[in-house]
Amino acid sequence: MNFEVFITCAVTGAGETVDKHPAIPVTPAEIANAAIDAAKAGAAIVHCHVRDPETGRGCRDVELYREVVSRIRDSGIDVVINLTSGMGGDLEIGADEDPMTFGAYTDLVGPMTRLAHVEELLPDICSLDCGTLNFGDGRTIYVSTPQQLRAGAKRIQELGVKPELEVFDSGHLWFAKQMHKEGLIDDPPMFQICLGIPWGAPADTATMKTMVDALPDNAVWAGFGIGRMQMPMVTQAVILGGNARVGLEDNLYLEKGKFASNPELVERAVNIIQLMGAKVIGPDGAREKLGLKKRS
């Protein structure tokens, strides 16, 4: 069991959730305020996407990231900033017998373009989605090839940013370990075990334990489940020696029929962790575990 736990709050994501929740953060001000409120509630790390303020859809606009990061940094609230680098990997396969006619949701760019905002803003951490995945029941797949991943990992390493290795299935974990073995990932490697997204690894005890058992010995890791499995997977991650992630990217409800906010989800996780007899650590504790220097 982990007795000193840091919490990451994934405050908005890029999914089609704006019409499913009355207060999904969309504008840079809303996203930054959500991150700040999550930090006040006990999150050591905030994981941020940006959205098009007009449509609410996830996007890659560097200027929107710049505003989010500036607002968080200027707030006076100490929190570790973790920016996604996953945008630009969506491929909507054409329907039926016309797979090469890609759909409107396709946004497929190279590894350096996916890192443009990381290059500009130098967050403490950026995510690296460690493989290709059938994403849901439709025609969309998330594309992240070995060549793209090696190129992205090398550039992240050169920038001095810590990669959060997001693994959605056992093959992703296998390849993340390979990059670590090749020297593309500095010690200690940081893993995020992402469970419950169709059709990746399911959110259950056996799956999380299998993936944890395969981690490098010196890994620092966290895990999450989506939807109603968010809080059970908080508990499971702590029992297995890891850290926790919550937030509106992964789950919209505090309980059945009651919409959540990011600070409410963090507060719920804090309560669970403390009731288990563990301590929730803040940003300095997370930095120490992850080998991060505090940015000025």
Domain ranges of the chain: 4-290
Mean pLDDT value of segment 104-110: 95
**pLDDT over threshold 80, residue 211:** yes
User: What is the signed CA dihedral for 22, 27, 31, 34, rounded to 10 degrees?
Assistant: -50
* pLDDT of 149: 98
**pLDDT over threshold 70, residue 7:** yes
- Label residue 295 by pLDDT band (50, 70, 90): confident
- The mean of the pLDDT values for the chain is 97
Lowest mean pLDDT among 117-121, 135-139, 190-194: 135-139
Percent above pLDDT 70 for the chain: 100
List pLDDT tens digits, range 26-66: 999 999 999 999 999 999 999 999 999 999 999 999 999 99
* pLDDT of 296: 62
Spatial separation of the C-alpha atoms in residues 250 and 21, rounded to whole Å:
12
List pLDDT tens digits, range 73-103: 999 999 999 999 999 999 999 999 999 999 9
Mean pLDDT value of segment 197-216: 97
**pLDDT over threshold 90, residue 136:** no
pTM over 0.75: yes
Task: Decide if domain 4-290 falls under CATH 3.40.50.300.
Answer: no
DSSP characters over 63-121: HHHHHHHHHHHHTT---EEEE---TTEEEEPPSTT-TTS--TT-EE--HHHHTHHHHHH
Mean pLDDT value of segment 197-205: 96
